[in-house]
Amino acid sequence: MPTLSIGIVTSTIIEKEWLSDICKKAFQAQVAECDFTAFGRNPRPFNSPPNLIILNIQVAPIQGITAIAIAKSVLSEYPQCRLILLSALRNPVVFLRLRSLAIQGFIDGNTVSPEIIKHAINAVLAGRSYFSPIVANTLSNLRKDPLAFNLVLSDHQQNILSLIARFYTDLEISEITGLTAATIQSRRRDIMNRLNIHSTPKLIHYALTMGFQHLEAYKEQLAKYQSVTQTSKEGRGERDLVPVKSAESPP
């Protein structure tokens, strides 16, 4: 019988060792480990494709990279591998996007245990899927909401909302998107009207609660904008006196 191979992708040493120990003891698996930053580079993270990859991404975007982006990178490198995401994220935006990626499993990092890890691995290796109950519950609540963002907002409006969730101003969003500041103000008003939200602080809170800070939007434009902004600061000899915009803390 061929030896089972499992790849573990995580940036946390303690959790890497914990997951590796479970896989070795419960499944006598060969375990290969790598950091999430290894994807998209040469050589490939794993010498040969594992039977299963466990991607452990907990809460905040890591170094500005979201769980959705990392899952896409893993699937791009190893499209034939089964993928289980282990994460403490509980956001509708994240669940909808991960469902669209057709990953085989999601384990809620808030309730994880060795038994749940083993159950999820067994299910996925048997050709089934495993999703913690929080996924179905969250998406069910979303379907019941007549003002759910995926019903009332276009993809373009959701992308704009993802920038609002990262605390960019209308002027900054206009520079990122190439639209005028007046157009962005109009887009913001349209979004608020569709969601029946009547203030910008409440809109930001809604966007963070739904998980829009994890949505990949304007990726190339954002990278260019951040690079130009940083270069401009360095040219003026400025230092950042305030934290970089965080999607995990309110303004």
Weakest mean pLDDT among 94-108, 197-211, 234-248: 234-248
The predicted structure's pLDDT at residue 243: 42
198 vs 214, residue with greater confidence: 198
Helix (H, G, I), strand (E, B) or coil at 53: strand
What CA–CA distances, in Å, run from 62 to 58, 123, 144, 249?
Answer: 9, 29, 32, 15
The predicted structure's pLDDT at residue 127: 95
Residue 188 predicted with pLDDT over 90: yes
Q: What are the chain's domains?
A: 5-141 (3.40.50.2300), 149-235 (1.10.10.10)
Residue 249 predicted with pLDDT over 70: no
In this prediction, residues 97-117 reach a mean pLDDT of 92
Mean pLDDT of the chain: 86
The predicted structure's pLDDT at residue 196: 97
C-beta atoms surrounding 249 within 10 Å: 10
Helix (H, G, I), strand (E, B) or coil at 240: coil
Q: What is the pLDDT of residues 60-80, one digit of tens each?
A: 555 556 778 888 888 888 999
37 vs 128, residue with greater confidence: 128
Q: What is the pLDDT of residues 6-65, one digit of tens each?
A: 999 987 777 889 999 999 999 999 999 888 777 766 667 888 899 999 998 875 555 556
- Cα–Cα distance measured from residue 164 to residue 235, given in angstroms and rounded to the nearest whole number: 27
pTM: 0.81
| CB contact set of 116 (below 8 Å; sequence gap of 6+) | 107, 132
